[in-house]
Structure 1
């Protein structure tokens, strides 16, 4: 039994959709999907249904692309959109950030007595910007190098006043749950679409994109909540980092130009626990 992970499937791409059709079944394994399945709600739901049939259990967290909404689409926006996606995932038996945190039932790594899988939806608050860039000019600063995230147009924060308010509300809710639901003697696998730490971001092609990549308020969560591993996506820079005893996994697939289609998606499933 294995715990596998991937993110940023971006199934708006035809090549990515075709590759998904060739994914073999893993009937004993669990799969983490760390956000950015697609922009259309129906495609997200259809993909989760396919994956739920390929794996023993699927754990999904929303990314920014799932939250994008376009005028006259007839789809909900903002927090209502997120809640609608959660409802559709739950109907398929997929675990979401709004469900009880599952306990990993497979083999445990050395020194780990109990492992809690923690899917989270935390967003960002622009605090990953450089320290010398004020918040009120961060979009203008990013625009100088054409690095402004499309979220500024397509990701509505409704029913919150701003994306920052939504992010901080999610942080508060999640922190309360972690304190209440994770035993002191347990380790965690923290899952979020956006990175938890600014110092692990390396995106030289879009260096001013960092404000849309997370929040400084999570930088010590891997310590506070005893993380065995942290699984994130968003950056399209597959990598593994170690900080102390915690493994940080960026598990993006990405757009067709960012991965080798001939290898198939299965080669990009990251092994978290074996």
Structure 2
């Protein structure tokens, strides 16, 4: 079994949807795909994409991103935790899974999350401009740190003792030092909404040596303290900084021995 990763497919864009539809139906029949969030906030589109991927891979594992929890197109009565349940149901209907998967001595674990301002507090401009503050609605006045804790409580805290290799994946970034030094100062205002340090604590508790994340649209691999962090976003069609767009094979054995 080979293990592949991708995030931020954003198939609301025709070019991105065409890429999904053009994927081989024979090359990946024995393989597993991790999809680290941001397919679409529209349930029929999400269901279509995951169904297409599930038809090509033996296992398609999925974790929702921030876009999946937008309710701006939904009824005013619906909040984003309701949407999460609908997204989970759509994934199951499409043949994908949001649960850990074991293959021999390998465990692949999706980690839910949200940003909690552990990377910094948002300025007023960010609160006005960042779509999540507009398109997400939370019940009972939940704050973003409370949302982060809610999803964290749904994550597993251990794997079976005989598991030798653990790969985790999340939509949100697990640590801020994964951002490259060349990011302009003006763009660093986005840092508060990129991820949460809680995710890094969780993947380390599970014993992961490889972690895949999305959300930032900055593709890179970086090893810190024995853990290799991988971002392989497909991105928006207009993002010309992407040199290549496609699936990335994750070498579990190599990373585990690093």
TM range, normalised to the smaller chain?
0.7 to 0.9
Counterpart position of 1:173: 154
- Residue ranges of structure 1 left out of the alignment (5+ in a row): 106-113, 130-134
Number of residue pairs matched by the alignment: 247
Asked whether the 8 Å contact 1:230–1:246 carries over to 2, the reply is: yes
Whole-Å separation in 2 of the counterparts to 1:75 and 1:21: 34
Counterpart position of 1:132: none
Q: How does 1:100-179 map to 2 (within 5 A)?
A: 101-105=100-104, 114-129=105-120, 135=121, 138-140=122-124, 142=126, 148-158=129-139, 161-174=142-155, 177-179=156-158
Whole-Å separation in 1 of the counterparts to 2:161 and 2:36: 24
Moved more, 44-53 or 237-246: 237-246
Could you say what the CA RMSD is over the residues aligned between the two structures, in angstroms?
2.5
- The answer to whether residue 192 in structure 2 is matched with residue 211 in structure 1 is yes
Asked whether the 8 Å contact 1:34–1:63 carries over to 2, the reply is: yes
Whole-Å separation in 1 of the counterparts to 2:230 and 2:243: 23
* SS of residue in 1 equivalent to 2:234: coil
Counterpart position of 2:233: 252
Counterpart position of 2:43: 41
Counterpart position of 1:108: none
Q: How does 1:229-240 map to 2 (within 5 A)?
A: 229-240=210-221
Counterpart position of 1:67: 69
Asked whether the 8 Å contact 1:124–1:194 carries over to 2, the reply is: yes
- The C-alpha deviation readout for 1:37-57, integer Å capped at 9, x for no partner, is 012111001110111101111
- The C-alpha deviation readout for 1:40-86, integer Å capped at 9, x for no partner, is 11100111011110111100000001111115557943111101110
Counterpart position of 2:255: none
- The answer to whether residue 165 in structure 2 is matched with residue 187 in structure 1 is yes
Q: Normalising by structure 2, report the TM-score.
A: 0.86
Whole-Å separation in 1 of the counterparts to 2:74 and 2:113: 27
* SS of residue in 2 equivalent to 1:27: coil
Moved more, 47-56 or 254-263: 254-263
- The C-alpha deviation readout for 1:98-144, integer Å capped at 9, x for no partner, is x3x21134xxxxxxxx2211111111111211xxxxx4xx231646x
* SS of residue in 2 equivalent to 1:164: helix
